[in-house]
Amino acid sequence: SQTIHQWPATLVQPVGSPLSLECTVEGTSNPNLYWYRQAAGRGLQLLFYSVGIGQISSEVPQNLSASRPQDRQFILSSKKLLLSDSGFYLCAVQWQSSYNSPLHFGNGTRLTVT
Amino acid sequence: AQKVTQAQTEISVVEKEDVTLDCVYETRDTTYYLFWYKQPPSGELVFLIRRNSFDEQNEISGRYSWNFQKSTSSFNFTITASQVVDSAVYFCALLTNNAGNMLTFGGGTRLMVKP
């Protein structure tokens, strides 16, 4: 079956500390993977997407980075967190690699930077 | 440029009432796709429906129905006989042929269904 694993579910980190959020998917090969952020309001902001191993597209310049070391693994990182990085981070996958197939989201990580 | 507007930020209804969530989109592309997602209090976004620009047939799925009107650039979502479990934030989203992999989301509508 197709599943999305995203962890941790919640995270509290001090300003200036590093960050690593991981997303892995099962049940498909070569999926399109995405990282979205939802700030205190409700808007969803696309941060990164990847159509293959080592292929990362960034939509918003910031102190975050993403990597895709394996076909079904997508990692969101930061070397030094800012207060403004607080939010709800969602990994998403297109089970079919066509650009118009629906995105399916993981359960999210709620990050609080203190 | 693509844009999705959900003018209703919050709607409150009493259980069993019907409710319609509005979605208006803007695009110059002739090929595009519209989506609705539900975000319950637990946080994950749940895919509800995808509609392409060439299919204006309305869709019904149980208590949910969608009305796609190209003439008014709208893709409205109606919940019939609402239930408390329908309480969530609902997002409308647009994907166009020329936007690559970038899905444009509306700001969301928070629906509260009271018992």
A24-64: pLDDT as tens digits: 999 888 899 999 999 877 689 899 999 999 999 888 767 89
Residue A2: which of A35, A17, A24, A21 has the closest Cα?
Answer: A24
Neighbours of A70 (CB within 10 A): 11
Structure tokens at A49: 């997407």
CA distance B49 to B4: 16
Candidates B44, B50, B108; nearest CB to A105: B44
Chain A residues near residue B45 by CB distance under 8 angstroms: 44, 90, 92, 103, 105
Q: Are the C-beta atoms of residues B68 and B56 closer than 8 Å to each other?
A: yes
Residue of chain A whose Cα is closest to the Cα of B31: A100
Q: Are the C-beta atoms of residues A33 and B80 closer than 8 Å to each other?
A: no
| B74-113 residue pLDDT tens | 999 999 999 999 999 999 999 987 766 688 999 999 999 9
- For tokens 């118009």, the residue is A100
Structure tokens at B62: 């149980």
Q: Is B62 helix (H, G, I), strand (E, B) or coil?
A: coil
Q: Is A47 helix (H, G, I), strand (E, B) or coil?
A: strand
